[in-house]
Amino acid sequence: MQPDLQTVYSAGSQDIAAQQNKVLRNTYLLLAVSLIPTVIGAVIGTNFINFSFMRSSPIMSVIIMMAVFYGWIFMIEKNRNSALGVGLLLGFTAFMGLLLAPLLQPILSLRHGGQLVMMAAGGTSAVFFVLSGIAASTKRDFSFLNKFLMVGFVVIMLAVLAQIFLQSPVMQLVLCGAFIIFSSAAILFQINAIVRGGETNYVSATLSLYVSLYNIFTSLLQILGVLGGDRD
């Protein structure tokens, strides 16, 4: 007796949905865990490391950091199907926490620096929860954002390179706004891709979401640092 096609189709759909939910659940879990080494790295960097060498040679520092950043991402993606990929991801988030120190140190020297950090963290969380809710619940396909993200990445990278030489405060604020918009679109795209089955690897998904959250947080922090608070 041949199986009923509707039953087979229904069972297949349930298996796909279960797999998508598993990827989304593992992504959120790993993303939450990845924040722990980030906080540890930020505390160590802010309190025990002198980053004055970055200010004395900003161009070389940015080039080195970008090389390490993209090299580390390459290694994570290359090992994304193994436990090594998870370990590399957690090491990467600790490294990114260390890189928060040059931004946190001057912010925390402001009179309300601690409040500004909390506001940036709260704003980042709010953006993530709203966007993830939209991406996971809507029937709309956000795959059209892929082209926007590709073009936006190139434009932003060119602007970052230009800013290294120009050191314009106004352009820095514009860049912060651009990073927030770009990263928000990336969150919509990534979570929607998981829900629709376009992304099946939770390590890659976590990496994408983490970088987006990091960019939103640092951009909000820079904007708040400019707008709020006097130095003690």
pLDDT at 8: 46
Percent of the chain having pLDDT more than 70? 91
pLDDT at 165: 85
d(CA 128, CA 196): 19
Confidence of residue 198 (pLDDT cuts 50, 70, 90): confident
pLDDT at 3: 56
Percent of the chain having pLDDT more than 90? 66
Compute the CA torsion angle 40, 63, 146, 28 (nearest 10 deg). -10
pLDDT at 9: 47
d(CA 155, CA 226): 24
Contact predicate 174/165, CB 8 Å: no
The backbone torsions φ and ψ at residue 231, rounded to the nearest 5 degrees and listed phi first, read -75, 150
pLDDT in tens, 181-191: 999 999 999 99
Give this prediction's pTM.
Answer: 0.90
pLDDT at 10: 52
pLDDT at 76: 97
On average, the pLDDT of the chain sits at: 89
- Could you tell me the residue ranges of all domains in the chain? 5-227
pLDDT at 130: 96
What tokens appear for 150 in the block? 């590709």
* Residue 49: closest CA among 89, 93, 99: 99
Judge whether residue 149 has pLDDT over 60: yes
pLDDT in tens, 1-56: 455 545 544 544 566 677 788 999 999 999 999 999 999 999 999 998 888 777 77
Contact predicate 152/182, CB 8 Å: yes
pLDDT in tens, 85-104: 999 999 999 999 999 999 99
Contact predicate 100/44, CB 8 Å: no
Check residues 228 and 177 and name the one with the higher pLDDT.
177
Judge whether residue 145 has pLDDT over 50: yes
pLDDT at 4: 58
Length of the chain: 232
Contact predicate 79/88, CB 8 Å: yes
